[in-house]
Chains A and B, each alone.
Chain A
Amino acid sequence: MSANKPTQPARRKAPSGAARSQRNWRHPLRSWLGSHRTSALQALERVRHYPFSSAMTILVMTIALALPMGLSVLINQVKQLGVNWQEAAQISVYLADSVSAEQQQTLTEQVGQLAGVASAQLLDKDLALAEFQQHAGMGDALLQLDYNPLPSVIVVTPKSIEGGAAALEPLRDRLVALDGVDQVQIDLLWVERLSAILAMFERFAGGLAVLLIIALLLVMANTIRLAIESRREEILVIKLVGGTDAFVRRPFLYIGVLYGLLAGLLAWVLLALGLAWLNVTVERVAALYQSDFALFGMPFTDGLALVFGAMLLGLAGAWLAVGQHVRAIEPQ
């Protein structure tokens, strides 16, 4: 050790020469990056040294993440199904028996041009019978009859079903007023029910997410608090030899981010497997309802958002703890 260059305290020796000054601006950045690398490695080291307690924390975080995320993914997928149903939400315009086939065509065109109508399709009674037998599984009953009891129908798809059945009232009035129209039926009740149920589940998932996120933050904060306590001596020494609070904080914040990352990835895997597992039964149920609906698994962007959000939550939880505890440890 050659301490033969006394420097003024609280002031660094002035750099001399171009090479020196060039190193000087690069040096802070490099040392800052170096310090971050060291902190990140320390976080990894901690997971390696305490695999069991790390795993416990990460698993608790995983569950706290996977539950609301899984619910939200499920709701979103059922909503997709709801959108299909909405497209199929129809107004059935039953035509009187007396209307001739030709008149049926003109009427259909007329209806198609009404405001608020996306499309109008004629389903004459023969077609209607065929469809009924094919889809509803009740064809046998109809076969018992020696005549076709079904009326011809113009199937109207409204442009929007926002506002529910009430908003479609004016359209319905106009349809009823048309010559040759026997009856108009708006069947939106089940669409409204579905969206109400979905809204309820969404709210439930939202509330659950808020609670679990709070739990996750607390778990993280507690883990970091313990980590800080276990390294109390080290923190004291670091502060004594001139370590800033930021320097002391950094490894703990990295632990938070690392735990978040691992929990996020694990939750992603868990959800992907869980949805696949669930899909087997969903497909069977859907088949019984003559639907080809299936869960489409864990969307990639949702997975990324999950991992990123988990890292942020880990960081936030760690920040909660270090903000309080690192400052409190001061050499006496």
Chain B
Amino acid sequence: MIRFEQVSKRYSNGHQGLDNLSFHIRTGEMVFITGHSGAGKSTLLKLIMCMERPSSGAVHVGGQNLRDLGSDDIPYLRRQVGVVFQNHQLLFDRTVFDNVALPLIINGTPSDEVGRRVRAALDKVGLLSKENSYPIALSGGEQQRVGIARAVVHKPALLLADEPTGNLDPELSAEIMGLFEDFNRVGVTVIIASHDLPLIARLHHRTLTLDQGRLLADGES
């Protein structure tokens, strides 16, 4: 599903985001990316999303070398991926329903289907009753779950999460991770960048440990 071949990313300010990184994540895997802040976790996710381009090396997503994607193709790549951000990236002037519906609106899903799928996604994260609320009225954990509903509403094959439990207490964090495991169980490839080592250790999934852009360890933690 995802293959990095000797990928390096050096930023224009001289910071080395990734340094000669190679790994392979197969379809249906659930993988944690961990390491200190600045180790390259976010850079790795951004390369998969085509928010950044590698300085050298090749990134393959779903058999496609991302180098071959023009800027006009990038939106179509992103539609195949669901992303959950630490800061949720919700639109505060729209209801929960409209936030979650956004990916479906963008890919032109017929409106009757939009309603059905948005409610299914909200039901899955336990927020069906909040569809008409505005994000501002929700707790941090609820906002994060809205973000997750938005990331999965269009049934992506690949789910990325960048510090999805960053601001949440341990109990909520475990709950969120449980959601990701549910999606993985039904076949979605899940990649989670997180530095919550105790939580990761409890879950027993493959973990890539980065340090200063290099792969330090690859295995079940």
Contacts and interface: CB of A to CB of B under 8 A. Distances in A.
Interface string A172-200: 00000000000000000000000000000
Contacts of A238: 102, 106
A246 to B, nearest CB: 9
B89 interface: yes
Given A1-B124, A8-B157, A243 B106 contact: yes
15 contacts: A1-B121, A1-B149, A1-B152, A2-B120, A2-B186, A5-B155, A6-B157, A7-B157, A8-B62, A9-B1, A9-B62, A10-B80, A27-B108, A239-B78, A241-B102
B62 A11 contact: yes
B67 to A, nearest CB: 14
B204 to A, nearest CB: 22
Given A31-B108, A237-B102, A242-B103, A10 B187 contact: no
Contact of A28 (B28, B89, B108, B111): B108
Contact of A9 (B75, B81, B152, B153): B81
Contacts of A332: 51
B186 A4 contact: yes
Contacts of A234: 91, 93
B106 A3 contact: no
Interface residues of B, number: 50
Contacts of B105: 35, 38
A79 B106 CA distance: 54
A34 interface: yes
Contacts of B132: none
B175 interface: no
Contacts of A27: 108, 110
A238 to B, nearest CB: 7
Q: How large is the interface on A (under 10, 10 to 19, 20 to 34, 35 or more residues)?
A: 35 or more
A238 B108 CA distance: 13
A83 interface: no
B21 interface: no
A3 B108 contact: no
Contacts of A11: 62
Nearest to B78: A242
A332 B80 CA distance: 19
Contacts of B63: 8, 10
A331 interface: yes
B75 A243 contact: yes
Contact of B91 (A4, A28, A38, A237): A237
A247 interface: yes
B188 A241 contact: no
- Sort A-B residue pairs by CB-CB distance and give the 5 closest, nearest first: A31-B108, A9-B62, A1-B124, A242-B79, A9-B80
A2 B124 CA distance: 8
Interface in B54-109: 61-64, 72, 75-81, 83, 89-91, 93, 102-103, 105-109
A31 B114 CA distance: 12
Interface of A: 1-11, 27-28, 30-32, 34-35, 38, 233-234, 236-245, 247, 330-332
Given A31-B107, A332-B51, 13 more contacts: A2-B124, A5-B187, A6-B27, A6-B186, A9-B80, A10-B63, A10-B80, A31-B109, A35-B105, A236-B89, A241-B102, A242-B107, A244-B75
| Residue among A6, A27, A38, A245 with max Cβ neighbours from chain B (10 Å) | A6
B188 A3 contact: yes
A169 to B, nearest CB: 68
A330 B80 CA distance: 18
Contacts of A5: 155, 187
Contacts of B150: 241
Contacts of A241: 78-79, 83, 102-103, 106, 150
B1 to A, nearest CB: 8
Interface string B30-41: 000000000000
Interface in B107-164: 107-111, 117, 120-121, 123-125, 149-150, 152-153, 155-158
A242 B155 contact: no
Contacts of A6: 27-28, 157, 186-189
B183 interface: yes
Contact of B120 (A1, A8, A31, A240): A1
Contacts of A245: 72, 75
A235 B132 CA distance: 22
Nearest to B120: A1
Nearest to A35: B108
A10 B64 contact: yes
| Residue among A8, A10, A247 with max Cβ neighbours from chain B (10 Å) | A10
A1 B77 contact: no
A332 B121 CA distance: 27
